[in-house]
Amino acid sequence: MKIVPIFFPNAGCRRKCTFCNEWMATMKSSPKSVKDEIYKAYEFYHGNENSELALYGGTFTAIENWEEILIESYRCVEELGMRGIRLSTRPDEVRNVDFLKANGVVNVEIGAQSMCQDVLDASKRDHTVEDVRKAVKILKDAGIGVSVHLMTGLPEDTKSKSLFSSFEVANLRPNGVRIHPTLVLKKTELEREYLAGHYVPQSIEEASDWVSDMIAIFLNGRIVIERIGMYQDEETLKNVVGGPFHPAFGEIARSALYRKYLILTEAKRVFGPPNLRSQIVGRNRDLDLEFLPSKEIAVDGKDCKITFNKWLLEYVHSLKEMARCDL
């Protein structure tokens, strides 16, 4: 499935979360003509019948005339023969789901960011953890797909809280998740905190350690991981003043999980699909392991063969002990 995005930066947001500035993140402004913008994006992103139009960048269902925009967008989606619409919104602004469904919405992306109230409050999210649970339920009951966004490294966040949030979200059984380590963007409250020395962003090593364990939880829960790490092009990267940005962050985090698998099982040889070779051994070259093509990921461990899935089950069980959130 391909995504054809158009952006409404911070449109519908009642107030700004401390880490957010969608103008800085996208360098775009809300479209003057929604129809023109959709047709331009369709061409630019090579849309087809398998693409979804994405209405991103703000709190879509709180934009003053969002119903009008949605009707117009759906008309374009039908003209272009795309498969549907996805949109992003806050958990406390999920509303009118029958209208969403009747107008081509197949997926709603909920910005949860954390399932720990103190982390949400520290970023002035101004919604509750319960709002996330309710939003996911309302959408699922209406038969609309749900993706949940989580962030790591926000003020007050810890590894235990990120793991806790991941288990909580996995229990809600969304269709997909997106995981974004926090980047410090220009013209945000977080930037001011960072420049004053009150906020210390994660390093790439720390973020990939946390995110690799979050990946383990979602893989084990059979929940699709739609994206890891924020997309930034050359232009928008200039607006990132701190934080664990790397263009291949997703690959790094996945490799970090395989590294834990290889080390903890004391692997001698590793088997796996050739398309995963770079993730499994490419970035873990220092472990000097022989890679043999196979459908299933497995290692010749100390005493026996250990499949990745079997290891993952036990590993995720051990992460449960670390997952904590003092509410």
Could you tell me the maximum CA-CA distance found in the chain, to the nearest angstrom?
Answer: 65
Least distance in Å: CB of 234 to ligand SF4? 22
Considering the complex, state which of residue 22 and residue 226 has its C-beta at the smaller distance from ligand SF4. 22
Considering the complex, state which of residue 59 and residue 212 has its C-beta at the smaller distance from ligand SF4. 59
Q: Report the DSSP pairing between strands 240-242 and 184-185.
A: antiparallel
Q: Report the DSSP pairing between strands 145-152 and 176-181.
A: parallel
Considering the complex, state which of residue 22 and residue 52 has its C-beta at the smaller distance from ligand SF4. 22
Side by side, the strands of the sheet bearing 224-228 are: 2-7, 51-56, 84-89, 105-113, 145-152, 176-181, 224-228
Least distance in Å: CB of 263 to ligand SF4? 36
Q: What residues line the site for ligand SF4 (CB under 6 A)?
A: 10, 13, 16-17, 20, 22, 58-59, 90, 111
Considering the complex, state which of residue 86 and residue 90 has its C-beta at the smaller distance from ligand SF4. 90
| Tokens coding 239 | 């607006």
Least distance in Å: CB of 76 to ligand SF4? 23
Least distance in Å: CB of 41 to ligand SF4? 19
Q: Report the DSSP pairing between strands 240-242 and 224-228.
A: unpaired
Alpha-carbon distance values, 106 to 97, 100, 145, 146, 221 (Å): 11, 8, 6, 9, 22
Place of tokens 């997952």: 323
Considering the complex, state which of residue 59 and residue 284 has its C-beta at the smaller distance from ligand SF4. 59
Least distance in Å: CB of 18 to ligand SF4? 9
